[in-house]
Amino acid sequence: MGGEKSKILIFGATGYLGKYMVKASVSLGHPTYVYTRPLNSSSSKLDLLNEFESMGVTIFYGELEEHEKLVSVLQQVEVVISTLAVPQHLDQLKIISAMKDAGTIKRFVPSEYGNEVDRSTNALPPFEALLANKRKIRRAVEVAGLSYTYVAGNTFLAYFVDYLLHPHEKPNEIVVYGTGEAKVVFNYEEDVAAYTIKAATDPRVANRVIIYRPPANVASQLELISAWEKKTGRTFKRIYVPEEEIIKLSETLPFPDNIPVAVLHNIFIKGDQMRYELTEEDVEASKLYSDYNYTTIDKYLDICLVNPPQPKLAAFA
């Protein structure tokens, strides 16, 4: 698949990351397809699908339970990328079964894009349950004998800059989780999508994990706040939420409200994404695709300074 254009089918295309994935696939010149549930005429996602069609995307409507339809669609493509949301992660077992029967798929990228789940530690139970589901999908892919690429995209930059700094609101106070010193890897959503499309069609990343850890995008909460203070010329009061309080919330909040606090604990307090060293055996995206000009934290904060993006509506778990 190196250098060639591949027919790429995307699941979850109308979701938070999915729309970036579709646009990246099209912009990189791949014939792009979407499999989505049938929509009624009042659906808010209709405009997005119309936009996809205007870009030349082929849209298939169907349910994941429609096995024969799914197989017939899969037989028309070569690469499958899933961006299904957390509640649908185990539904990917239906896609895996259909891909096995189709017999045409050269690469599958399951829906992950966060921590490297086989190296993830220190997760509180609500988040560990999500990681366990992602591992279950990995093992099912391997048992099915499918060629895969697993993506450790770490933390979405635009989403969490909005969540942590609230640049559109211009607050006087900023909440810090734990000590604020744990290192986190931030990646702009458009870059996550672009790297994923490149990796999904790259023979060098077949049956490998690819980790998105660009050196300019590793920062702690305190470093992020300080950088924003320098950009804005303001000083923010830091409100510290101790680790013990976050742990207690993860134990007392009902499902699914307990999941985001467990995610915050793992990433921003325990620093799980930077707790392991990359070795020569690891594939790191910014090194593999060194010609790709990724969006740095500094550059994204400049964007926020001029035109703060609207708050993200997606849940981050």
CB 192 within 8 A of CB 113: yes
Cα separation, 45 vs 58, in Å, equals 16
Residue from 100, 134, 198, 299 carrying the catalytic annotation:
134
31 contact partners, CB below 8 Å, separation of at least 6: 5, 6, 7, 8, 58
Q: Is 134 a catalytic residue?
A: yes
Give the whole-angstrom CA distance, residue 160 versus residue 283. Answer: 25
Helix H, strand E, coil C: the string for the chain is: CCCCCCCEEEECCCCCCHHHHHHHHHHCCCCEEEEECCCCCCCCCHHHHHHHHHCCCEEEECCCCCHHHHHHHHCCCCEEEECCCHHHHHHHHHHHHHHHHHCCCCEEECCCCCCCCCCCCCCCHHHHHHHHHHHHHHHHHHHCCCCEEEEECCEEHHHHHHHHHCCCCCCCEEEEECCCCCEEEEECHHHHHHHHHHHHCCHHHCCEEEECCCHHHEEEHHHHHHHHHHHHCCCCEEEEECHHHHHHHHHHCCCCCHHHHHHHHHHHHCCHHHCCCCCCCCEEHHHHCCCCCCCCHHHHHHHHHHCCCCCCCCCCC
The encoded tokens of residue 263 equal 């995610």
Pairing of strands 107-109, 79-82: parallel
Tell me the catalytic residues.
134
